[in-house]
């Protein structure tokens, strides 16, 4: 729906890019608006914007003034997965707060959060949009749910049984539950962690495992996925520095989903990155550290580039995909304005920001 800028509130989600006589948007669609974003819109004299019907906390957005009412049935149906996701995040946040207060993990309650989300059967577009939904302060809750759904979706793609997929999703969801037991509030840090703080955070896979090991309802694979989700194929990870052959498949899956979502998300000390740029980083910068077979399945699951797709590049150019290189699927040839050919393989500094 279209809303006047004066009636915007923090937590509103943009449903379209905002342009001001520029080729690149001043604020991109799917951005969760903060006070700072709203002030920018007012300074640029933006009169109105298109926003989604729900705030990032999952509650309905009821502005005092709307310029156009959308068909609510169609929007609710279209955004069913995102609605479920936002609701699940808030439910998980409540659980996490209880764990911080000393409550034990209850498998049944955790399953009630995960299963409705998993059963919505998210599309590629849904998965690619996940990183847009989140706030800096609530990063850990959005991250946990995103890793859960990305992991379970990848498990389905590689042919795991339904029971294994559910256990994998639970493992991804709870991989960071040990963060609730840290001695300091890592989520309020607005700068990179100190060396001592980082060493303490590195204990969280073990803390997560200890919270779950005596709780009925979690398989051995789920527990191994939790404690091994920061290990690496070459032994450079933590907390046990084990290598690939000793790592469970669940861990190999969660590792990739964890890195991907962390890099594409907005953090206090780091801006979010394009999924396409992050996928390139997973292939190059993480070479030898993550399972290349699982990564190949992940990339195939995530990429939605096809001939004819319209894309926007980080340099502001908009064009149509006319050729895809199988060896570098994130770097197709683009037909941009005035029928000029732009080959991304020849421009490593340029990458795809958005697919329409």
Domain ranges of the chain: 2-70, 79-302, 310-355
pLDDT over 50 (residue 282):
yes
Contact residues for 221 (Cβ-Cβ < 8 A; gap 6+)? 164, 167, 168, 171, 248, 249, 250
Tokens 């009636």 found at: 7
pLDDT of the residue at 69: 41
pLDDT of the residue at 53: 84
What mean pLDDT comes out for the span 74-89? 73
Peptide bond into 294 cis (omega under 30): no
What's the pLDDT tens digit per position in 89-124? 999 999 999 999 999 999 999 999 999 999 998 999
The b-or-e profile of 5-41 (16+ CB within 10 A means b, else e) is: eebbeebbbbbebbeeeeebbbbbbbbbbbeebbebb
Report the percent of the chain where pLDDT is more than 70: 95
pLDDT of the residue at 64: 60
Stated as kind and residue range, the H or E segment containing 50 is: strand 48-50
Higher pLDDT, residue 238 or 134: 238
What distances in angstroms separate CA 229 from CA 91, 149, 221, 244, one per listed residue? 23, 15, 12, 12
Range in 54-63, 208-217, 306-315 the model is least confident about: 54-63
What mean pLDDT comes out for the span 301-308? 89
pLDDT of the residue at 75: 37
Contact residues for 94 (Cβ-Cβ < 8 A; gap 6+)? none
**Assigned CATH for 2-70:** 3.90.105
What mean pLDDT comes out for the span 166-171? 98
Range in 181-185, 295-299, 346-350 the model is least confident about: 181-185
> Do 2-70 and 79-302 come out as alike in CATH topology?
no
pLDDT band at 268, cuts 50/70/90?
confident
What's the pLDDT tens digit per position in 119-154? 998 999 899 989 888 888 899 999 999 999 999 999
pLDDT over 90 (residue 67):
no
What average pLDDT does the chain have?
89
Structure tokens at 70: 């959308």
pLDDT over 60 (residue 84):
yes
Query: How does strand 2-4 pair with strand 66-68?
Result: antiparallel
Rounded distance, CA 267 to CA 327, Å? 31
pLDDT of the residue at 250: 98
Tokens 């495992």 found at: 209
Class of domain 79-302: mainly alpha
Range ranked top by mean pLDDT from 74-83, 185-194, 255-264: 255-264
pLDDT of the residue at 70: 42
């Amino acid at each position: 729906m279209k809303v006047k800028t004066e009636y915007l509130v923090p937590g509103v989600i943009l449903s379209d890019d905002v342009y001001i006589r520029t080729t690149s948007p001043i604020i991109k669609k799917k951005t969760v608006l903060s006070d700072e974003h709203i002030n920018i819109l007012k300074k640029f004299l933006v009169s109105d914007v298109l926003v989604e019907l729900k705030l990032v906390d999952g509650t309905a957005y009821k502005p005092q003034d709307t310029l156009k009412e959308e068909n609510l049935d169609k929007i609710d149906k279209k955004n069913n997965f995102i609605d479920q996701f936002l609701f699940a995040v808030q439910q998980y946040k409540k659980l996490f707060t209880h764990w911080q207060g000393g409550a034990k993990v209850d498998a049944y309650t955790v399953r009630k959060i995960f299963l409705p989300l998993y059963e919505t059967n998210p599309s590629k577009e849904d998965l690619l949009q996940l990183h847009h939904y989140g706030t800096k302060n609530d990063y850990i809750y959005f991250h946990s749910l995103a890793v859960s759904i990305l992991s379970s979706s990848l498990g389905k793609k590689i042919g795991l049984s339904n029971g294994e997929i559910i256990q994998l999703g639970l493992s991804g969801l709870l991989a960071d539950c040990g963060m609730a037991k840290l001695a300091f509030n890592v989520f309020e840090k607005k700068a990179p962690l100190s060396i001592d703080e980082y060493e303490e955070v590195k204990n969280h896979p073990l803390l997560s495992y200890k919270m779950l090991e005596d709780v009925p309802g979690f398989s051995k694979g789920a527990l191994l996925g939790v404690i091994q989700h920061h290990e690496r194929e070459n032994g450079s990870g933590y907390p046990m520095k084990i290598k690939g052959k000793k790592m469970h498949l669940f861990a190999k899956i969660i590792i990739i989903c964890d890195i991907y979502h962390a890099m594409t998300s907005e953090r206090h000390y780091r801006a979010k990155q394009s999924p396409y740029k992050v996928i390139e980083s997973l292939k190059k910068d993480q070479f030898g550290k993550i399972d290349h077979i699982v990564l190949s399945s992940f990339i195939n699951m995530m990429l939605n580039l096809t001939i004819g797709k319209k894309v926007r590049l980080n340099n502001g150019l908009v064009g149509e995909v006319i050729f895809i290189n199988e060896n570098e699927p994130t770097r197709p040839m683009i037909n941009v304005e005035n029928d000029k050919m732009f080959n991304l393989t020849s421009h490593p500094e340029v990458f795809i920001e958005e697919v329409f």
